[in-house]
Amino acid sequence: MVSFEEARKIILSSVSVVGSERIHLLDATGRVLAEDVAAPWDMPLWDNSAMDGYAVNSADCGVVPCKLRVSAFLPAGALAEGVRVGQGCAVKIMTGAPTPEGCDAVVPVEETDNGDREVTLRNPVKKGQHIRVRGEDVQAGVAFARAGTIIRPPEVNMLSGFGMALVPVYRRPTVAILSTGDELVELGTTPGPGEIVNSNALALATAVREVGAIPLIIGIARDTRASHLEKLREGLKADVLITSAGVSAGDRDLVREVLEELGARQLFWKVGIRPGGPTAFALHGTTPVFSLPGNPVSTMITFEEFVRPALLKMQGHLRVLRPLFRVVLREELRKKPGTVQIARIRLEREDGRWYAAPAGNQQTSILRTMVDAEAFAVLPADSSSFAAGDEVDAHLYGNHIDLLEATP
């Protein structure tokens, strides 16, 4: 059995990005840049006005109030060629319009009487005010976004501002999801005696999609070697294979044995984590294979702690583990020493500190606790008892945006 921390190290050292592709910018939100991107030209491309107002020469504005003759008008999109700020003159200008020759300042319209033929400036004028200088944002040839950057609306704005319709991003891995067991029936079927609905496949597919990868549900492997061979062969065609159940030590737990027969190299089986101890990880060539327990709570916890970071790394993310923060326990918690326990918790904020209470009965049979959990408390292996008032590490679970302030 490997430790929780060692299992993560083995997994993350065994996976790498799955390649890159160029996609349309509109489809790139949330994807990770695969290359540094440099500016093809200066931004802005010319000196331009940052305000609606009047382009002036500050040397003409030494006395306040100052009256100047309005000699021209420059709207946004106009060319400044042939337009000049002469002595004692001003050019009415709109935001974004190129500044004309002889201009070294722009006076906002709010600081004038907004005259059309003659304008009165009410405040002192500082040279360079309200002018956006060519290249002050980004200069041509300078990288403004690095490989590993997650593309958000600000990146889309800048990329599109440079006319980049196609961008290089890391590819989304395909993830085959295989459930095992004669007791399983598919969604839409009312289970009979001894049967359960194959809910793990849908939960795992949702988790895979949520992390940005592409889920491929490939059905159920029945408790025969032939069925396992057929389904596992199919699953190994994907970039990643996840199986649920069939990984313990029972007579019908065939996953590890058949994977070995197909040439997979097992890197570990059994992890010092509760719930989720009978988790296995293997490589088939370079294809990672995660064999997760079949209990739904254990399946989702081991996906969160082991599979999610790997899928993020394969998509080029630089930060793959959720940030930890400290929580104060509301109640006493006990566990067996020697393993890390993942406790499902709810959070409350008081006096600048986070307090944690169990999200219900911590037995792995209580699926409702996963629905109610806002975070996971990570109880270290070297302790067995945690009193109310003790501080422990925790990380958020799921997309609890309202609680993101908890992270460092």
Residues 219 and 303 in one domain: yes
Q: Quick one: 236 and 154 in the same domain?
A: no
Q: Is residue 138 part of a domain?
A: no
Answer yes or no: do 306 and 191 share one domain: yes
Residue 380 sits in a domain whose CATH number is 2.40.340.10
Q: Which domain holds residue 176?
A: 2-16+172-314
Q: Is residue 320 part of a domain?
A: no
DSSP result, 237-286:
TSSEEEEES--SSSTT--HHHHHHHTT-EEEEE-EEEES--S-EEEEETT
- Point out the domain boundary residue: 314, 346, 365: 314
Same domain? For 96 and 70 the reply is yes
Give pLDDT tens digits for 269-315. Answer: 999 999 999 999 999 999 999 999 999 999 999 999 999 999 999 99
Residue 30 shares a structural domain with residue 156: yes
Determine how many CB atoms are found less than 10 A away from the CB of residue 71. Answer: 17
Q: Are residues 11 and 52 in the same domain?
A: no
Q: Which amino acid is at 46?
A: W
Q: What digits encode the pLDDT tens for the residues 321-379?
A: 999 999 999 999 999 899 999 999 999 999 889 999 999 998 888 999 999 999 999 99
> Confidence class of residue 402 from pLDDT cuts 50, 70 and 90?
low
Residue in 238, 318, 249 with CA at minimum distance from that of residue 277? 249
Domain count, the chain: 4
Look up residue 133 and give its two tokens. Answer: 């200088």
> Do 122 and 152 sit in the same domain of this protein?
no
Question: What is the domain-level CATH number for residue 124?
Answer: 2.170.190.11
Shared domain check, 193 and 158: no
At residue 404, the pLDDT reads 53
CATH number at residue 257: 3.40.980.10
Work out whether strand 340-350 and strand 271-274 pair parallel, antiparallel, or are unpaired.
parallel
Mean pLDDT of the chain, nearest integer: 94
- What's the predicted TM-score (pTM) here? 0.89
Q: Which CATH number fits the domain that encloses residue 152?
A: 3.90.105.10
Instruction: Tell me which residue has tokens 């302790």.
Output: 383
The answer to whether residue 282 is domain-embedded is: yes
